[in-house]
A = this chain, B = another copy of it.
């Protein structure tokens, strides 16, 4: 499995990803899932991938080939983030068209999804989720994050702490804790963690890191978070059972299903 997330706030973008890939539980390996296609000073283009690895690698290779082919539209020439999302969607459709019949024949899941975040000079920072079918959605002020892969474990912390006005630095910390929560609860998501933070209108990828298993900073953050979480938990009111004693659980041998 995989867990990638993207966050867009007023002040920038954050994208994070784990690096674990598995085919069943007995074939687990590390693959990078976060890629930087930026053109410093002009545009920032970041991609995260999840799903069938042969499909996502083929899509990345297609994108890379176009970059190297003279006079071919590519990630450095397409004029807007929206058009880049369309273009990547087309690449996904091309690969699916070519591979799906062979994979379907053996009931192999060919699905994939991608996160695309960035900013092209002249436009705003934007964040997209591109589906296996090549269509896509865009993150908005109301829902400023998008996730792919094993998304559920890491969603509550985003739902509780994030909104569009969150600083991009806090959004990065929140992304890291969301990934760490997922790693703790699900063994199919694992390090190294790749994380990037982009400040709106800077057109340079300045903040990026990779946290290996056992990284000192990652251990510090996890232990600080767990101590702080326990303090937070202890501070919440205990359950007031007496005030709710009229509302009883159905006593089954005296009542019918209601």
Chain A: residues with CB nearer than 8 A to chain B?
A: 32, 34-38, 46-47, 57, 60-61, 63-64, 67-68, 75-76, 152-157, 159-161, 169-170, 172-174, 176-177, 181-182, 184-186, 192, 194-197, 205-212, 217, 220-221, 224-226, 228-233, 235-241, 243-245, 247-253, 257-258
Q: Are B236 and A224 in contact (CB under 8 A)?
A: yes
For A195, what are the chain B residues with a Cβ–Cβ distance below 8 Å? 239
Q: Which of B155, B226, B238 contacts A173 (CB 8 A)?
A: B238
For A186, what are the chain B residues with a Cβ–Cβ distance below 8 Å? 152
**A46–B34 alpha-carbon span in the complex (Å):** 47
**A184–B205 alpha-carbon span in the complex (Å):** 34
Q: Are B209 and A185 in contact (CB under 8 A)?
A: no
The complex is assembled from copies of this chain, and their number is 2
**A207–B244 alpha-carbon span in the complex (Å):** 9
Q: Which of B208, B212, B226, B253 contacts A64 (CB 8 A)?
A: B253
Q: Are B184 and A159 in contact (CB under 8 A)?
A: yes
Say how far A95's CB is from chain B's closest CB, in angstroms.
15
Looking across the interface, which residue of chain B has its beta carbon closest to that of A64?
Answer: B252
**A24–B155 alpha-carbon span in the complex (Å):** 22
Also in contact, A174 and B224, with CB within 8 A (given A194-B249, A208-B249): no
Say how far A186's CB is from chain B's closest CB, in angstroms.
8
For A196, what are the chain B residues with a Cβ–Cβ distance below 8 Å? 249
Sort A-B residue pairs by CB-CB distance and give the 9 closest, nearest first: A209-B244, A228-B232, A152-B152, A210-B247, A156-B181, A232-B232, A35-B252, A207-B241, A36-B249
**A121–B152 alpha-carbon span in the complex (Å):** 40
Q: Are B185 and A252 in contact (CB under 8 A)?
A: no
For A60, what are the chain B residues with a Cβ–Cβ distance below 8 Å? 252, 257
**A35–B155 alpha-carbon span in the complex (Å):** 30
For A154, what are the chain B residues with a Cβ–Cβ distance below 8 Å? 156
Say how far A11's CB is from chain B's closest CB, in angstroms.
14
Q: Are A229 and B153 in contact (CB under 8 A)?
A: no
Q: Which of B161, B217, B236 contacts A221 (CB 8 A)?
A: B236
Also in contact, A252 and B36, with CB within 8 A (given A155-B153, A232-B225): yes
